[in-house]
């Protein structure tokens, strides 16, 4: 039976979200936007707002939509007593944004983590660092570690995965190899933010759909157990209104991931065929079927192993003659991702 190529997996329903793989988005500040991001495939929101009244309204709507929230604990620690049950759908308390960039000490961050866990012992904590290797060793703090690294357009696209690989190695060094590691994926234009050198021309653009898709899968290949996307707004306006074409690209990628991550989380990773380096391949057994994720993490077109030539690969997502010809030759374009399905059952039910 043939391997079937899907960039979007139609065999799962988008509404069947996986609880264990976080697909979140930064900067959702209004309750009316929660339904919009859920429809896009997200299951978690973050806000930088700290006002308890605002957060409570967000939390109430998130709970109705079966969504989780990530928020700062600061004002909650001031207003409530330890072990107060808030009834909020908190995925994790957001301790701090880039302590490595903002010169926060290990002691300060650790004290905040300890205090937050004292107040809310049943909840998780999380913070984000701006690179995989930090001068201060923050890796033993919090239950979840996030890494944000935004390469488009000034750095190599694969550098995000490299930063995650570095962070994973640092976690292993301190005996925290199983700590969840979440990647933050760029969905913004650098020209909207402060540049490091004011004398430089402002550079930037919104990442393309293919770039967002590649960074997402490359992050997973390098240890990410959750993905967050920065940010929902453009110059303070929600993306669906400010940049509808860009928002459509984000929707397409995240709705696909909402399906694929069900295989990654609930399937069993099995031995994978040998392929030509530097291509990377992960193989999963899920629901009695083999699925493969094949990526080209380089800026060059690379020919895949002959294993993909031996099978009749059918292109279902795109009938363009040129692309079909490329795939038939097992040639992976730069920074591309193929999702493969072996359509025959391989395990007989007991």
| CA–CA distance, 333 with 326 (Å, rounded to integer) | 8
Taking the CB of residue 276, how many other CB atoms lie within 10 A of it? Answer: 14
**CATH dotted code for 14-267:** 3.20.20.80
Domain boundaries, the chain: 14-267, 269-342
| CA–CA distance, 113 with 121 (Å, rounded to integer) | 11
Q: What is the pLDDT along the chain (350 residues), one digit of tens a residue?
A: 333 333 333 333 333 333 579 999 999 999 999 999 999 999 999 999 999 999 999 999 999 999 999 999 999 999 999 999 999 999 999 999 999 999 999 999 999 999 999 999 999 999 999 999 999 999 999 999 999 999 999 999 999 999 999 999 999 999 999 999 999 999 999 999 876 656 566 789 999 999 999 999 999 999 999 999 999 999 999 999 999 999 999 999 999 999 899 999 999 999 877 777 799 999 899 888 888 888 999 999 988 776 555 554 443 334 444 555 656 667 788 999 888 777 554 443 33
Calculated CA dihedral for residues 149, 39, 37, 202, nearest 10 degrees? 50
- Classify 20 in phi/psi space as left (phi over 0), alpha (psi -120 to 50) or beta: alpha
Q: Are 112 and 96 in contact (CB under 8 A)?
A: yes
| CA–CA distance, 321 with 318 (Å, rounded to integer) | 9
The closest alpha carbon to 228, from 349, 78, 65, 70, belongs to: 70
| CA–CA distance, 24 with 194 (Å, rounded to integer) | 24
| CA–CA distance, 223 with 288 (Å, rounded to integer) | 25
* Cα angle 215, 146, 30; round to 5: 90
pTM, two decimals, is: 0.89
Q: Which residue has the tokens 């020919």?
A: 303
């Amino acid at each position: 039976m043939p391997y079937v190529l899907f960039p979007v997996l139609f065999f799962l329903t988008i509404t069947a979200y996986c609880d264990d793989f976080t697909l979140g988005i930064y900067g959702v500040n209004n309750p009316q936007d929660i339904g919009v991001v859920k429809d896009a495939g997200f299951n978690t929101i973050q806000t930088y707002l700290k006002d308890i009244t605002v957060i409570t309204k967000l939390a109430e709507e998130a709970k109705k939509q079966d969504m989780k929230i990530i928020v700062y604990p600061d004002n909650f620690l001031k207003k409530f007593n330890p072990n107060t049950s808030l009834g909020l759908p908190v995925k994790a308390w957001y301790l701090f944004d880039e302590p490595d960039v903002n010169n926060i000490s290990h002691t300060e961050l650790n004290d905040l983590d300890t205090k937050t866990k004292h107040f809310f012992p049943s909840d998780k904590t999380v913070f984000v660092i701006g690179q995989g290797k930090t001068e201060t060793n923050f890796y033993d703090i919090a239950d979840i570690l996030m890494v944000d690294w935004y390469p488009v357009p000034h750095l190599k696209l694969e550098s995000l995965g490299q930063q995650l690989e570095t962070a994973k190695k640092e976690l292993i060094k301190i005996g925290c190899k199983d700590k969840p590691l979440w990647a933050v994926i760029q969905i913004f234009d650098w020209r909207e933010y402060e540049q490091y050198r004011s004398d430089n021309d402002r550079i930037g653009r919104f990442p393309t759909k293919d770039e967002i898709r590649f960074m997402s899968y490359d992050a997973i290949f390098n240890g990410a157990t959750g993905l967050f996307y920065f940010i929902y707004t453009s110059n303070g306006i929600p993306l669906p209104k400010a940049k509808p074409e860009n928002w459509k690209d984000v929707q397409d990628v995240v709705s696909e991931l909402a399906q694929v991550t069900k295989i990654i989380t609930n399937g069993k990773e099995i031995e994978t065929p040998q392929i030509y380096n530097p291509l990377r391949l992960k193989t999963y057994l899920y629901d009695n079927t083999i699925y493969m994720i094949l990526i080209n993490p380089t800026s060059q077109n690379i020919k895949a192993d002959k294993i993909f030539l031996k099978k009749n690969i059918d292109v279902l997502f795109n009938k363009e003659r040129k692309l079909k010809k490329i795939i038939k030759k097992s040639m992976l374009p730069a920074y591309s991702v193929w999702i493969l399905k072996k359509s025959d059952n391989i395990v007989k039910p007991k």
